Each structure stands twice: as C-alpha cells, then as structure tokens.
Amino acid sequence: MEYIAGILIALLNQMLLNWRMQQLARKNIIEPKQVINLARISLIERLMLVGILLVFAMKQFDPFSVVMSFFIINLGVAFYKNVS
C-alpha cells in the first residue's frame, strides 16, 4: 500500500505540473515576469500539496517505501518526457 500511496502522490504532482504548463500555453504568455510568476505559483502549490500528502502517507506507511516510490515514478515520468 505504501508504494501505491507514493505512486499516486507522484502522479498528482505530474498532473498539476502538466495542468500549469497547458495553462501557460493557452494564455500565450511570453512576458518573462508573468512566466516566472506562474512558475513560482506552480512550485508553491505543488510543494505544499505534495509535501502535505507525503507527510500523511509517511505517518501511515513505511516512510522509505513511500518516498522511494514517489521519486522513482517522478524520475520515470521525467525520463519518459525527455525521450519521447
């Protein structure tokens, strides 16, 4: 179950990142200040949500398994995006 929790949190993290990237593309924002502000907001949102979920998952399950499954899935998704 701890692996599933880490995987679900990692997928949520990637979905939030993709949603923000699509939002950036739809709004056609090219001004650097607006891009930086949107990136900052996205980082804070994901850090807060993912951090809180990871803390709750680590309280319920084995912390090492939760964190390792989270990082493995995030690295796998990042590698897949770079390859394709």
Residue 10 resides in a domain: yes
> For 10-31, what is the mean pLDDT?
81
**Per the structure, how many domains does the chain have?**
1
Segment 51-68 shows an average pLDDT of: 88
* Widest Cα–Cα separation across the chain: 44
Is 34 contained in some domain? Answer: yes
Percent of the chain with pLDDT over 70: 95
d(CA 3, CA 46): 20
Percent of the chain with pLDDT over 90: 1
Averaged pLDDT, 51-60: 89
The answer to whether residue 43 is domain-embedded is yes
Tell whether the model's pLDDT for residue 23 goes beyond 60: yes
Q: Model-level pTM?
A: 0.75
Is 84 inside any structural domain?
no
β strands within the chain, DSSP E: none
Mean pLDDT, range 56-66, rounded to an integer = 88
Domain assignment of residue 56, given as a range: 2-77
